[in-house]
Amino acid sequence: MADQVAPWLASDEVAAQLKLSGWTAGDSLPANVERHRLATAAYVERARRDLVVPAVYDVDGVTVLTPATFTPPADVVDGALLMVGRLVAREGSPQGLASFGEFGPAAVIRSDPDVERLLGVGRYGRPVAL
């Protein structure tokens, strides 16, 4: 089943990234994972408007404008997949602690430099004219 919303962040890629057990291609993602997939896609599409490509065609001298599409490169897709994984991990740790072991607490970081770098946001974003 093709993803209707945010097809660039495909359910099968999300499931593979999260290593969902018992999930096969064509299945729906669990509701919480789908929610995080859609939230991540919305954030990335908002933050990286430079990747929205309008489709303008000239058909027999008439300009035809079709809906714009979001066309991210592979690094942005990888960053989005990591972001979905981070949101799913945070879901089980509302206080930001993943576990508490013999060496103390293990935190789920709220800001991941690898995700920022891959997405091209935050301190790795492009300068914007005001």
Please report where in the chains the tokens 């879901």 appear, as a residue.
Answer: 91
**Residue 129 counted as domain residue:** no
**Residue 106 counted as domain residue:** yes
**Residue 1 counted as domain residue:** no
* Higher per-residue confidence, 92 vs 49: 49
**Residue 5 counted as domain residue:** no
Summarize pLDDT for 24-83 with one digit per residue, the tens. 877 889 999 999 999 999 999 999 999 998 877 777 888 877 788 899 999 999 999 999
* C-alpha–C-alpha distance, residues 14 and 114, integer Å: 17
CA angle 107, 113, 115 (to 5 degrees): 95
* C-alpha–C-alpha distance, residues 129 and 70, integer Å: 22
pTM of the complete model: 0.78
**Residue 22 counted as domain residue:** yes
Q: Where are the beta strands (DSSP E) in 22-126?
A: 52-59, 62-70, 97-101, 104-107
- pLDDT number for residue 110: 66
Count of Cβ atoms closer than 10 Å to residue 119 Cβ: 25
- pLDDT number for residue 94: 61
The residue segments making up the domain with residue 43 are 11-124
